[in-house]
Amino acid sequence: MNIPAIIPAPGPAVMQSLQYADERPACGAWPGYNTRMTNLPPLGDLTPAEFFRDYWQKKPLLIRQAIAGFAPPLNPEALFALAAQEEVEARLICHFDQQWQMQDGPFAALPARSQSGWTLLVQGVNLHDRAADALLRRFRFVPDARLDDLMISFATDGGGVGPHFDSYDVFLLQAHGRRRWQIGSQQDLSLKPDMPLKILARFEPEQEFILEPGDMLYLPPHYAHDGIALGDCMTYSIGFRAPSYQELGQGFLEFMGDSIDLPGRYADPDLKPGKAPAEISKRMLTDIAAELRKVRFTDDDIAIFVGQYLTEPKHTTYFTAPQQTLTPPRFASTAGKKGLRLALKTQMLYRGPHVFINGMSFEVEPQDRPLLARLANDRSLPGELVGAARADVAEALYTWYQDGWLEITI
Ligand code: SIN
Ligand code: CO
C-alpha cells in the first residue's frame, strides 16, 4: 500500500528565413535564453527535483496549504458563465436517487445550488481566463510538453464524479469549500458496466483526507480516487498529458504520408500466364515490399512530428483575430513599445533548430533562436526584443498577431 506523504505548509528569433519543416534543417543548437519563474512551484517544502524523485508517477502526495491563502481566480458564477459558452468544454454530472447521469455542455441553465449531488466540470479553463492560465503556469516545473490543462469543478453537497481512476497525473487543488478524498492503490481497475461515466466496479479506499482551500493532492496515473463535496466546493485539477504510443504511431504514419516520396509504379513486363487469376502473386508482393521498405524516417522527422503533434490546438479551439488589425508599421511600433505575449490558446515549443507553434513547425537560423526561445519560455517578449527582431521574424510575428496567436501586451 502506498501511503501518501503529507507535506506541511510551505514558507512562501529573428528568422533569416522561416522555413517550413519539410525543408532541410539547419545545424546548431539554441543559445541560452532567459527563463523567469514568476512564482515558486506549489510543492510545500519539496523542491521539484525531490518531488520528481519520490512522487511523480510513483505515489500520491498530500500537501497541506500548497498555496496558502489561495484566492481562486474564478468563483462559481464565473465558472457557470464559461460553461454556457459554445466553445468551452463542459460536463454536468448528476448523482440523484443513486443514479448517475452525464450531459455535455454548453449549459444555459444548471440545477439549483440548493439541490445536492451535482457537479459541473469545465475543461481547459486556462484557455479562456488569464488568471487561470497564470495558475497553470505555476506547474511549469513540469515541461510544457507534459502540461495539459486546468479543469475546474463545482459541486454541491455530496457531489462528485464517483470512484474512478485517471490515465494521467493530476494535482487536485482545493479552491473553495471542503472535499473528502478517498484514495486506494488497488490493481483491480475494472469498471461498472453500462454507466454514462467511468466508475470503478470495486473501490477499495485505503486513505481518506479532507481538503480545505489551498490544500492539494497529487495522484499518479491509475490511482483510484473518489472526491465528495462537503457542502458547495470547487476543485481545480491541474492535468498532464502523455500520448499513447498507438496514437503517436498512427499520427506519425499520417505525418509521413504527407512527405514520403516513392517514385515509379508497379511493372511486370515479364508476366507469365497463371492458373489462379484471383491469387495475388508472390512476385507482386515481393516487389511492393521492396519498394515500401525504402520508406525511411530520420530523427528530425520525429522531432518535427512530435513538436507539431504536441502544439496542435484541440479541435474545439478557435483563435480570435484582433478586432482592428494594425498595419505592419503600426504593429511594429506599438509592439516595439509594449511587447508581445502569446494568446492563452497558443502552444509553443522548440527543439534544436525547430520552432513549433499551434501545430506548425518552422526552421530557424541560429541567430534567431534565442528570441523565439524567449517567446516560448516566457510566453512573452519585451518591446525592445520585438524591436530587435530581424525582418523574417518580424514578419512571422505579424502573421501570428493577425491570426490571433499572439497579442500586444496590455
Ligand atoms: C472533480 O473535481 O470533481 C473530479 C476531479 C478528479 O477526480 O479527477
Ligand atoms: Co480523477
Atom of ligand 1 nearest to the CA of 160: 3
**pLDDT at residue number 259:** 85
Atom of ligand 1 nearest to the CA of 155: 3
Residue to probe by mutation, ligand 1, list 237, 238, 240, most atoms within 8 Å of CB? 237
CATH number assigned to the domain comprising residue 213? 2.60.120.650
CATH number assigned to the domain comprising residue 396? 3.40.366.30
**pLDDT at residue number 5:** 53
Residue to probe by mutation, ligand 1, list 91, 95, 100, 161, most atoms within 8 Å of CB? 161
Last residue of a domain, one of 240, 269, 298: 240
Please report, to the nearest 10 degrees, the dihedral formed by the alpha carbons of residues 130, 353, 250, 286 taken in order: 170
**Ligand 1: distance of its center to the CA of 207 in Å?**
17
Atom of ligand 1 nearest to the CA of 219: 8
Is 296 contained in some domain? no
**pLDDT at residue number 30:** 40
**pLDDT at residue number 87:** 93
Crossing angle between the packed helical segments 245-257 and 299-311, to the nearest 10 degrees: 110
Is 79 contained in some domain? yes
Which amino acid appears at position 59 of this protein? K
Domain that includes residue 357, residue range: 328-408
The verdict on 332 and 236 lying in the same domain is no
Is 253 contained in some domain? no
Pairing of strands 170-184, 118-122: unpaired
User: pTM to 2 decimals?
Assistant: 0.88
Ligand nearest to the CA of 166: 2
The verdict on 225 and 346 lying in the same domain is no
Kindly give the confidence (pLDDT) of every residue in the chain, 410 residues in length, as a single tens digit, with 9 standing for 90 and above. 344 454 444 333 333 334 433 333 333 334 333 334 447 899 999 999 999 999 999 999 999 999 999 999 999 999 999 999 999 999 999 999 999 999 999 999 999 999 999 999 999 999 999 999 999 999 999 999 999 999 999 999 999 999 999 999 999 999 999 999 999 999 999 999 999 999 999 999 999 999 999 999 999 999 999 999 999 999 999 999 999 999 999 999 999 998 899 999 999 999 999 899 999 999 999 999 999 999 999 999 999 999 999 999 998 899 999 999 999 999 999 999 999 999 999 999 999 999 999 999 999 999 999 999 999 999 999 999 999 999 999 999 999 999 999 999 98
The verdict on 332 and 235 lying in the same domain is no
The verdict on 37 and 166 lying in the same domain is yes
Domain count across the chain = 2
Last residue of a domain, one of 206, 224, 240: 240
Ligand nearest to the CA of 226: 1
**pLDDT at residue number 40:** 85
**pLDDT at residue number 11:** 36
The verdict on 202 and 95 lying in the same domain is yes
Ligand nearest to the CA of 167: 2
Cα angle: 347, vertex 349, 355; to 5 degrees: 115
The verdict on 111 and 218 lying in the same domain is yes
**pLDDT at residue number 299:** 95
**Ligand 2: distance of its center to the CA of 164 in Å?**
6
Integer angstrom CA distances of residue 369 from 372, 375, 378, 395: 5, 10, 14, 15
C-alpha span between 382 and 263 (Å, rounded) = 49
Is 85 contained in some domain? yes
Is 273 contained in some domain? no
Last residue of a domain, one of 188, 209, 240: 240
**pLDDT at residue number 24:** 31
Which residues surround ligand 1 with Cβ inside 6 Å? 119, 153, 155, 160-161, 166, 170, 172, 225, 227, 235, 237
